[in-house]
Structure 1
Amino acid sequence: MQASALLHLLQFASPALPIGAYSYSQGLEAALESGAVRDAASARHWIAEHLAGVVARWEAPLCWRLMQAFEQQDFDSVRRWSERFIASRDTAEFRAETIQMGYSLTKLLGELGVADGALMTMLQSEPEVALPTAYACAVAALRIPREQALLAMLFAWAENQVLVCVKSVPLGQVAGQRLLLSLRAELEAAAVTAQTLQDDEMGNWTPGLSLLSMRHEVQYSRLYRS
């Protein structure tokens, strides 16, 4: 991997990227409220199950396909997978999350001038842009290897979940880093799954998570937007 590609990847997978990722918990805050997550052990179980059952089987393989489509400038496939991802957001919060961050990343890419004309024109022509779509565009535009970009996407997701736990369980900083380190095998397995699943094997059937998200929409006290 070339140094320039690695530096680009570190920048666009960073939690410091100004797209608002820190303000979402993806249902974890509702799990904390319900008592399903209450300590380091239950936090690890929640994150690992969410990673294996949802992210590795839907979000990551879909992002993998979007990266391939952008790389080949197959914009019909970009639109198809982007539409499917948005349609899969089955609560108001989950849908608003990906649209808001997708919009913010699209705007950032335009302001930084990192995407070429064809890629940026395609991205900006869409009425709604999901976050995986904007991320895949950045990966293709900056010529970041897909395998490393996929791992970075998975790590960034896990890191954000751990940070929610550090703030809200609460866990200590060292406990949070220990938790993140312990997820290495699960993250590697998720990357393999995302690259090998066939289209008809993908899915995100998680009614329990959807119910928690809907409860979060009316939760009395909350720090996060999802």
Structure 2
Amino acid sequence: MSIDGNLLTLSQWLSPAFPVGAFTYSHGLEAAIEAGWVHDVVSLQNWLETVLDQGSGRSDAIWIRSAMSDDANLSDLDTLARAYLPAAERLREAERQGAAFVKTVNAVWYTSFPDLLLPLAVGAAAQRQRMDGDAVVALYLNAFIGNLVSAAQRLMPLGQTPAQQVVSAMTPLCLRLTVATRGASPDDLWSNAFLSDIAAMKHETLQPRLFQS
């Protein structure tokens, strides 16, 4: 039996145990719950579907694909990705997690990546390891959703079984986005998740709060 070691490495990078501090960010979900926009399993699933299909999830997938291109200019991509972020907390979330990811990857895998926003950092490291792009995007999106569902469990009545049902329900969409973003570039970026962006902005002044975003 042949086992792909890269799959184990990718699972390690995207594990909740990897020290990027993902558990401290809700990606605006805390503000959405505070506002009553997300209040039960159905509204949570609808929110996550929109974020994934029409907002940050799709955009992150495209940034990963772009960073995995053989002729990627990481500095230019990072500058452009920063310009596309709609709120200060979104920038800080991607910036701090990316820096933490790069710090650990550089130390453990003896690379020398500069600080990058998280999806670009993951894509650049995956390209260095010659990982399969589809696997990287699919597992990244799954981890992204898993982190938001974990945040929701700390913010609203949501048991373990319903939480895992929501994550499972997102699997087909993660796979569809993986296929849809093959060959995509920054020219293909757009976002229609306006309420998610507003939640990110509202969270900047939310008090009290549990999460950094």
TM over 0.5: yes
> CA separation in 2, counterparts of 1:143 and 1:54?
27
Is the 8 Å Cα contact of residues 56 and 194 (structure 1) preserved in structure 2?
no
Q: CA deviation at 1:199?
A: 4.5
Query: Does residue 162 of structure 2 align to residue 161 of structure 1?
Result: no
Q: Percent identity?
A: 26
Deviations 1:171-222 (A, max 9, x none): 0011111111111111111112222546533212544322221211111121
**Could you tell me which residue of structure 2 aligns to residue 47 of structure 1?**
48
SS at 2:163's partner residue?
helix
Give the root-mean-square deviation of aligned CA atoms.
Answer: 1.8
1:145-156 correspondence runs (5 A):
145-156=132-143
Closer, same or farther in 2 for the Cα pair 1:75/1:58, shift >3 Å?
Answer: closer
Among 209, 213, 217, the alignment partner of 2:200 is 213
> What amino acid is the match of 1:187?
C
Aligned length: 212
Q: Please, which runs of 5 or more residues in structure 1 have no aligned partner?
A: none
Give the whole-Å Cα distance in 1 for the aligned partners of 2:76 and 2:173: 29
**Cα distance change of structure 1 residues 146 and 222 upon mapping to structure 2, 3 Å threshold:** same
Look up the SS of the partner of 1:195 in the other structure: coil
Q: Separation in 2 of the partners of 1:111 and 1:200?
A: 33
Q: Which residue of 1 aligns with 2:124?
A: 137
Instruction: Name the TM-score, length of structure 2 as normaliser.
Output: 0.92
Cα distance change of structure 1 residues 221 and 54 upon mapping to structure 2, 3 Å threshold? same
1:175 maps to: 162
Equivalence for 1:60: 61
Residues 36 and 15 of structure 1: is their aligned pair in 2 closer, same or farther, counting only changes over 3 Å? same
Q: Which amino acid is the alignment partner of residue 41 of structure 1?
A: V
Deviation larger for 205-214 or 24-33: 205-214
Mark the CA change 1:187 to 1:63 in structure 2 (over 3 Å): closer, same or farther: same
Unaligned runs of at least 5 residues, structure 2: none
**In structure 1, distance between residues paired with 2:60 and 2:136:** 13
3-state SS of paired residue (2:205) = coil
TM-score of the superposed pair, with normalisation by structure 1: 0.87
Question: C-alpha separation between the residues in 1 aligned to 2:131 and 2:186?
Answer: 24
**Deviations 1:143-177 (Å, cap 9, x if unpaired)?**
32111011111101011111112221220011111
- Taking the TM superposition and a 5 Å limit, the aligned residue runs for 1:1-226 are 2-68=3-69, 72=70, 74-76=71-73, 78-115=74-111, 120=112, 123-124=113-114, 128-195=115-182, 197=184, 199-226=186-213
Higher helix share: 1
